[in-house]
Amino acid sequence: MSLTDTGANASVSVDKGAFRSGPAGLSLFGRRLWARLSAVLLGLSFPAALLALWWVGAARGWLPPQILPSPALVWQTFTELWADGSLAEHTAVSIRRVAVGFAAGTGLGLVFGALCGLFPGFRAYAYPPVQAIARVNVLAWMPLLALFVGIDEPLKYVVIAWSASIPVIIGTVRGIAETPERLNELGEVFGFRPQDRLRLIVLPSALPSIFTGLREGLANAWQTLVLAELFASFEGLGYLMTWGRQLFQLDLVLISMVVVSLLGLSLDTVLKWLERRAQPWNAGGRNG
């Protein structure tokens, strides 16, 4: 290989490295900021393309306005709903339902999952029914649950808690039961007491699986909320979707969908942040 070829290869290598790390001369903080900004822009590229396609399709009349309302109409409806306070009212009702249901489901899931994970005998007895119930969508249980709790607010809280608890239980059980045996042996070597083993070995090992269950439970809670509000409700974002569909005002449906999506994404981001805070030793190896 000639000296010229070597120099050319080195130049290409440097250029590739500069591309990955951002513009030349940036500090470590600047490179991290550049990486985050690039990830955000890349994530927004697809929604932006869909918005552009929607705008062009509405302007050229590819579909009737009753099926594909224009972005301008959707924005006008959004501003009207925001100005009269109805959107905030429906959103607050849905957030309250998700908060109560998710909190109850998470508490139940963590306690039940911890018992199943820590005590094999209890797991052999109680965990198989949970796995069977998880195979049936919670909406299939709604007619039966309505006989016991009615069709008012308690039904919505119960079905949201139910759907949120299943992934939390499964994630907690897996995280605790699948603690690496070598770590347990290390605890025995150091003479850890049961509470020390739980605090220093089991919990740190189970946290990734537990947080995965929490995030899946939160997603289930929002999905179940919308369907529960479609079932029997006169307020909430799910009801707003139903009202818009019945009136053939798809702008209401689209607005409700966007609000639910943004709320769910925001809360999922909060859970990601909490996960990183709870696992500082693993923050460098996670990209969120």
Interval 90-142: pLDDT, tens: 999 999 999 999 999 999 999 999 999 889 889 999 999 888 888 888 888 88
Q: How confident is residue 19, by pLDDT bands cut at 50, 70 and 90? A: very low
DSSP secondary structure of 128-192: HHHHHHHTS-GGGGHHHHHHHH-SSHHHHHHHHHHHHHHHHHHHHHHHHHT--HHHHHHHHHTT-
Q: Are 31 and 21 in contact (CB under 8 A)?
A: yes
Phi-psi region of 279 (alpha: psi -120 to 50; beta: other; left: phi over 0): beta
Q: Are residues 37 and 140 in the same domain?
A: no
What is the spatial distance between Cα 73 and Cα 71, in angstroms, rounded to a whole number?
5
Q: Is residue 118 part of a domain?
A: yes
Q: What is the mean pLDDT of the chain?
A: 81
The structure's pTM equals: 0.77
Q: Is residue 65 part of a domain?
A: no
Mean pLDDT of 188-217: 85
Q: Are residues 141 and 13 in the same domain?
A: no
Q: What is the pLDDT of residue 29?
A: 67
Range of the domain at 238: 71-285
Q: Are residues 204 and 145 in the same domain?
A: yes
Q: How many domains are there within the chain?
A: 2
Q: Are residues 55 and 78 in the same domain?
A: no
Q: How confident is residue 33, by pLDDT bands cut at 50, 70 and 90? A: confident
Q: Are residues 32 and 80 in the same domain?
A: no
Q: Is 96 exposed, middle or buried (0-12, 13-18, 19+ CB in 10 A)?
A: middle
Interval 242-251: pLDDT, tens: 888 888 888 8
Q: Are residues 175 and 209 in the same domain?
A: yes
